[in-house]
Structure 1
C-alpha cells in the first residue's frame, strides 16, 4: 500500500483537483476478493457524459 500511496500523492501533485481512492486487493482468498469487490462496487459511479443519437434517444455506450 505504500507504493500506491506514493503514486497517489504524485498524481495529486500534478492534478490537485483529482480524487483517488487507494484500495488493497489480496488475491490469496476468495473471501478477500469478495470483500474488495463489494467495496469497489459501492465506492461510487463513473461520471460519463450524456450521449444522444440522431433521433434524440440516449446512447450511454458511445
Structure 2
C-alpha cells in the first residue's frame, strides 16, 4: 500500500463556483486545513468528507462569533 492509497480525496475547488450556502444562498470559502466550506453570512462551516461537501445545515459546525 502506498501513501496515495491512504490519502483522502481532494476537494475540487472548481465546485465552489457552483455551491452556495443552503441557509443564506451566499458564497462559501474553502478552508483546506479544516476541510470545510465556510459561510460567513450564516456563521456555519460545512464539512468535506472524502472530498465531498456535506451541504446539510444539521451537519454544519457553528462558527465562533
State the TM bucket, normalised to the shorter chain.
Answer: under 0.3
Flag the structure with higher strand content.
2
Q: Which has the larger radius of gyration?
A: 1
Higher relative contact order (CA 8 A, sep 6+): 2
Flag the structure with higher helix content.
1
